[in-house]
Amino acid sequence: MRGLFKTVLMLTASVLLLMACEPKPQPIQFGSDQCEYCRMMITEPQFASQVVNKQGRTFPFDSIECMVAHDLTTDNPDNIHSHWVPDFTNSDVWLQAQEAHYLHSETLRSPMGLYLSAYGVYQVAEEYHNEYLGTLLEWNEVRDLVRQEWLSNRDNQPHNHNSH
């Protein structure tokens, strides 16, 4: 009986411990945290993103484009647990980057010049698209955009993509 109790206790404890260890996003310290990719001080909650690694450590970025650029250039991609972006309409909400919807609109100027904002609900992304124009993108397209516009083609020109 005593042994069973002990086992149950151990099991509960280890389950709790595992739950506690599930890597998840952490609050970003605006005005003191530095972007892991570009070293800039992070100031804009509606764009600040983060990566969580398998040890549960978080790496903050000032923008979606910096997080993606880091992702495309990191030496250790296998150790990344998850990518998180803020909902542009409520930056307290963290969205899994793969599931979010993106707007690439020159009117919504993100910190590193690629005009990317993220939305949890597709209809909301469409509303912003109607108002601010630009192009709606999904995660893979965002990665392609950063690869093309920033990493391989650095001409220091603003990137015009205001087509519907």
Partner 1 sequence: MNNYKPIQLHLFGGLILLLLAWTSVSEASASDTAADIVVSPDGPVVSIQEAVNMARPGDHIRVEAGVYVESNIMIDKKLTLEGIGYPEIDGNLEGHILIIAADSVTVSGFFLKNSGRSHVRDYAGIYIDKAKDVVIENNRLDNIFFGIYLSATERGVIRGNEIRSYERRESSSGNGIHLWNVKDPKILDNKVEGQRDGIYLEFAKGAEISGNRSNNNNRYGLHFMFSDDSVYRGNTFNKNGAGVAVMYSKNVDMIDNIFENNWGTSSYGLLLKDINDSRITGNRFYRNTVGIDSEGSNRVIVHRNDFELNGWAVNIKSSSRENQFTENNFIENSFDVRTDSPRNPNHFEGNYWSHYEGYDLNRDGIGDVPYRPVRLFSIIIQRQPESLILLRSMFITLLDTAERIMPVLTPATLIDEKPKMERIR
Binding site for partner 1 (CB under 8 A): 30-34, 38-41, 43-46, 108-109, 112-113, 132, 154, 156-158
CA 18 to chain centre: 24
Q: How would you class 60 by CB atoms within 10 Å of its CB: exposed for 0-12, middle for 13-18, buried for 19 or more?
A: buried
Two tokens, residue 77: 């991609």
| Residue with tokens 């603003």, as numbered in its chain | 158
CB of 16 to partner 1, least distance (A): 31
**Cβ proximity to partner 1, 68 vs 112, nearer residue:** 112
Distance (Å) of CA 140 to CA 21, 132, 150:
28, 22, 15
**Cβ proximity to partner 1, 82 vs 117, nearer residue:** 117
Determine the residue type at 139. W
**Cβ proximity to partner 1, 76 vs 140, nearer residue:** 76
**Cβ proximity to partner 1, 82 vs 150, nearer residue:** 150
What is the rounded distance in angstroms from the CA atom of residue 69 to the CA atom of residue 79?
A: 16
CB of 42 to partner 1, least distance (A): 8
**Cβ proximity to partner 1, 82 vs 110, nearer residue:** 110
Q: Of 54, 48, 50, 49, nearest to 23 (Cα)? A: 54
Q: Of 78, 80, 77, 48, nearest to 65 (Cα)? A: 48
